[in-house]
Structure 1
Amino acid sequence: MKFGILSLAAAGLLAGVVSGFQPQQQQHHFAHHHSASADIRTSSDFTPGKLYDSQRLIKVSAAAKPRWLALEDILVLRRAGVRFMDITDTQALHTSSSSSSASGLVEGYTSRLPTKLVRGEEVAAAVEGLTTKLYGDVLRPFTAFHNRYYDSENGRKSSEWLQGQIQDLVAASGANVSVSAFSHRFPQSSIIARFEGQGSDSSETVVVSAHQDSVNQWLPWFGRANGADDDGSGTVTILEAFRVLLQRGFAPRRAVEFHWYAGEEGGLLGSQDVALAYKKAGRHVAVDLHFDMTGFWRGEQVIGLVSDHTDPESRALVKRLAAAYTRLATKEFACGYGCSDHASWNTAGFRSAMAFESAELEGNTNIHSPRDTVDTLDFDHMLEFSKLAVAFAYEVGYDKASA
C-alpha cells in the first residue's frame, strides 16, 4: 500500500510530471516479454538487483501522461507517499483509451458474478475452521526478515520462504493444488496457488490476492521494514483462508487462484506482470478480490471497500458477502491511483475489488517503517477478512460462469 502526505519537493516533481515536465533523456529501455503459451511463468532475462539501471516509465494518475524518471525522482515520489504505477514493462495494459476511467471496466473480459448467495452451508462450515493461530505463526518469522524489498536478496529469500509455507500446507492436506513461482525481472517472485476448476466453467479463473513485499519509505534497499500490516496482514489473511479451503476439499466449478504479488511497493510491478501475462494468454479472469492491509483499525470498525479503479458489480458482491458472512459492515472510500494491486486487474479489463482494514486510508502511521510490527495488529479483526475470502472463493468459485 502506498500513501502519504505530499512533500514540497515531490509536489513540484508531481506538478512537473502532470504538466509536461521533461526529465533527462531515457537512457535505455529494456523490453520485457511474457510467453503466451500455456506455461506463462516465464523466466527473467535480467540480472537480479538491476531494476533501476535505466529510467522507469512512471504514471501518477489516470489522466497524466507517463514520464521517464530517474531513480532519484522515483524516490522523491516514494518518500512523499505519492501513488504511482511503474508501467515500463507493461505498457500494453495502458494503451486503451478507456483505461483512464476511475471506475467500471476497461476493454477486456466481463464475467458473470453471482446475484444470489447460495453456498451458505458450505461457507459456514468452512468459516468454523478459521483461527488466528496461523497469523502469528507465519507473521513472526515473515516480519523477521530485515525487509522484503522486491529488488533485493531479502525480497527473494522472503518470497521463497513464503512459497515453502504454502507448499507445506498443500502437502499436509494431500490436495491436488499447484503452487508455482511467477518470475519477474527483479529477484522477488510472485506466488500462485491454483485450485483447478472441476466443471465446464473451468475456463474462468477467480483470483484472491495480497502483496508480499514491504518497503522502508526512506531507505528502500537497506532500511528496516517489518511490513506486518503492509502487507503481512493481507498475506496471512488469504493464507488462512487458503488453509481452510484445502482442509475442506474445496473443488470449485471455476478455477480459483490465490496470488501473493511481488513488487507492489515499486509501482504494482508484480500484479501488472501477472495481469498482462494472463491477458496475453487469453485467460478469462472472472474477478480479483485483493486484500492490502487488514490488521489495524481505529474509530469505526468496518471493512473498507475501495470505490475507485474497481467495478460496481464487484463492490456490490463484496457488500453482500460481508453482510452475510462477517460481523462487519462495509464502507466505501476512494483509495487513489495505483494504491494497490486491484488496479492492475482493472487496468487489464477484468473485474476487481479491494478490501481494506478500515475506511480511513491513512489510519496506520506505522507502515513503511520499523514500527509496522506484529504487536500492532488485531488478529480478531483480520479474521473477518479471512471469512470474506472464504465466502468469496465459495460463492464465485462455484457460481455458473458466463455463457
Structure 2
Amino acid sequence: MRISFVALGLFAGSVLAERQHLLYESQRLIKVSEGAKPRWVSIDDILVLRRTGVKFVDITDVQELYEPKSDFSGASYISKLPDSLAHGSEVKKATADLTTQLYGDVLTPFTAFHNRYYDSENGRKSSEWLQGQVSALVEASKANVTVRAFPHRFPQSSIIARVEGTGANADETVVLSAHQDSVNQWIPWFGRANGADDDGSGTVTILEAFRVLLKRGFAPSRSVEFHWYAGEEGGLLGSQDIALSYQKAKRKVVANLHFDMTGFWRGSEVIGLVSDRTDAETRKLTKLLAETYTKFKTQEFACGYGCSDHASWNKAGYRSAMAFESAELEANTNVHSPRDTVETLDFDHMLEFSKLAVAFAYEVGYAK
C-alpha cells in the first residue's frame, strides 16, 4: 500500500497531539449526576461520554467542593439583590451604545484557531489572544480596571477583568461570565472546533458589554468582574478552580450571571433561563432585567448536570443564573463540530444578551 508524505505528516501530527494531550492526566475523577459517586476514569472513557452526549463534571482538582461539609447550599455569601430597578436611565443610555461590530471583529480571528481545546497549544494561544483583546479595551479607556490571567494545571488560562468598586461595599463582587474554550466531539485535542456559538457567542456577548461599560465611565459601588473561563468543555475545570479559590478566600461574591451560547435560535425568540443549579432570587432578577431592558421574554428550562459554569458558583455556595440563546438546549446541532461557524449566528439576537449583561452590571453593581 502506498502512503503519501502528506498522509504520513498528518498521522505523525495526530500522534504527537494525542501524546501531548495524554501527558496531562491519565485518570480523572468525574461525576455524571448529582447522586452518582465520583469515579476514576481514563481519557478514553471521557471520550466515550463526550461522544454519546453525557455531561460530566471533572472534580479531580476541586474535591473539596464536593465534600458534604462544603455544600453550603447558597450560604457562602448572602447580600441583598435589588428587588426593583433603580438605574433605568443609565442602562438605556449604555445599551443604546451597543453594536454588533465587535462580534464579527473578534469572532472571525477567534474561530480561526483550529480549536481552542484547553489542554493544548491552541488553547493557550487563543486565551493569550483573547486577553490581549480585553486589555486593549482597558488601555483605550484608561479606566481603573485590572486584567489578569488565572492559571490552571493545563495550558489555557482563564481571564479576569475587574472593575474596582467605588462604594463602601467595594469588597463585594458581581461576576459576569462566559467560557472561551471549544472542543471537537470526536477528537478533542486535534479535531477542528470553530466554537462560534459554543461559546464564542457568550465570549463576545460579555466583551461587547464590557466595552460599552468602559466607554460610559462605569464606576459601580460594588466591584464588577468579567470572567472568561478555560476548560469548561473538560468538565467545568476553569470555573471550578476560580469558584473554589474565591470560597477559600471568603470572597464576597454577590451573584454570577453566566452566558453560554447566545447566537442561535429557532421557534420563538426568548432568553432561556436555566432553572437547575441556579437560585430563584437571581433568576427572578434576571427575568426582570431581561423583560425590562431587552426585546425578549424569558422561559425557564432545565439544563442538566454538568451543563455549564454557573453550576460551579452554585456548588461553591454562591448565587448564580445562566442566560441561554433559547429554551431548547439541543437546538444548535452544529456545536462541537467544524460546522459551528460565525455564519450560523444571529448577531441581532446576541445583542439582546449584551443588553442583559449591561443591565445586570448596572443594577447589581450600583446597588447599595
| TM-score after normalising by structure 1 | 0.85
Q: 1:330 is matched with which residue: 295, 298, 304? A: 298
Alignment: residue pair count: 349
Does residue 301 (structure 1) correspond to residue 269 (structure 2)? The answer is yes
The within-5 A match list for 1:64-83 is 64-83=36-55
Alignment of 1:355-394 (within 5 A): 355-394=323-362
Paired residue type of 1:127 = T
Q: Deviations over 1:97-141 (max 9, x none)?
A: 684xxxx93442122110010000000000010000000000000
Distance 1:54 1:323, change over 3 A: same
Q: 1:66 to 1:262 in 2, by over 3 A?
A: same
How far off is 1:70 after superposition? 0.9
Letter matched to residue 143 of structure 1: T
Are 1:143 and 2:111 an aligned pair?
Answer: yes
Give the letter for the 1:301 counterpart: E
Structure 2 distance, partners of 1:70, 1:227, is 25
Give the one of 224, 234, 243 matched to 2:211: 243
Asked if 1:202 is matched to 2:174, the reply is no
* Cα pair 2:271 2:299 within 8 Å, conserved: yes
Structure 1 CA distance for aligned equivalents of residues 335 and 260 of structure 2: 12
Q: Is 1:89 paired with 2:57?
A: no
Query: Matched residue of 2:162: which SS?
Result: strand
Q: Secondary structure at the match of 2:177?
A: strand
SS of the aligned residue for 1:304 comes to strand
Residue 49 (structure 1) shift = 5.1
* Cα offset, 1:96, TM superposition: 2.8
SS in 2 for 1:389: helix
Give the letter aligned to residue 60 of structure 2: T
Question: Residue 63 of structure 1 aligns with which residue?
Answer: 35
Is the 2:220–2:366 contact (alpha carbons within 8 Å) kept by the matching residues of 1?
A: yes
Contact residue 202 and residue 262 of structure 2 kept, 8 A: yes
Q: Residues of 1 paired with 2:23 and 2:261: CA distance?
A: 26
Partner of 1:185: 153
Partners of 2:53 and 2:78 lie apart in 1 by: 33
- Deviation per CA, 1:307-331, whole angstroms, max 9, x where unpaired? 0000000000000001110000000
What is the CA-CA distance between 1:176 and the residue it aligns to? Answer: 1.4
User: CA–CA distance in 1 between the matches of 2:128 and 2:24?
Assistant: 23
1:291-315 deviations in Å (ceiling 9; x for gaps): 0000000001100000000000000
Measure how far apart 1:95 and its partner are. Answer: 1.2
Q: Distance in 1 between matches of 2:251 and 2:75?
A: 14
Q: Percent identity?
A: 75
The residue that corresponds to 2:188 in the other structure is: 220
- Matched residues in 2 for 1:313 and 1:106: separation? 11
Q: Give the secondary structure class of the aligned counterpart of 1:197.
A: coil
| Alpha-carbon separation, structure 2, partners of 1:288 and 1:80 | 30
Runs of 5+ consecutive residues of structure 1 not aligned to the other structure: 1-47
Equivalent-residue separation in structure 1 for 2:24 and 2:282 (angstroms): 36
Name 1:270's counterpart in structure 2.
Answer: 238
Residues 316 and 51 of structure 1: CA distance in aligned 2, closer, same or farther (over 3 Å): farther
2:24 and 2:244 map into 1 onto residues whose CA distance is 21
- Indicate if the aligned counterparts of 1:288 and 1:345 stay in contact, CA closer than 8 A: yes
The runs of at least 4 consecutive aligned structure 1 residues that moved more than 2 Å come to 48-54, 96-99, 104-107
Q: Cα RMSD between the aligned structures?
A: 1.2
Match status 1:157 vs 2:125: yes
**Which residues in structure 2 correspond to 1:309-320 (within 5 Å)?**
309-320=277-288
Are the counterparts in 1 of residues 182 and 199 from structure 2 also a CA contact under 8 Å? yes
Shift of 1:52: 4.0
Letter in structure 1 aligned against 2:52: A
Q: How far 1:338 sits from its partner (Å)?
A: 1.0
Structure 1 CA distance, aligned partners of 2:141 and 2:246? 28
Q: CA separation in 2, counterparts of 1:299 and 1:250? A: 36
User: Which stretch of structure 1 is more off in the superposition, 89-98 or 205-214?
Assistant: 89-98
Deviation at 1:174, TM superposition (A): 1.1
Letter in 1 for 2:341: T
Q: For residues 100 and 51 of structure 2, what CA distance do their matches in structure 1 show?
A: 33
Secondary structure, aligned partner of 2:125: helix
Give, in whole Å, the separation in 1 of the partners of 2:22 and 2:46: 15
Structure-to-structure mapping, 1:96-135, within 5 angstroms:
96=68, 99=71, 105-135=73-103
1:354 to 302, 319, 322: 322
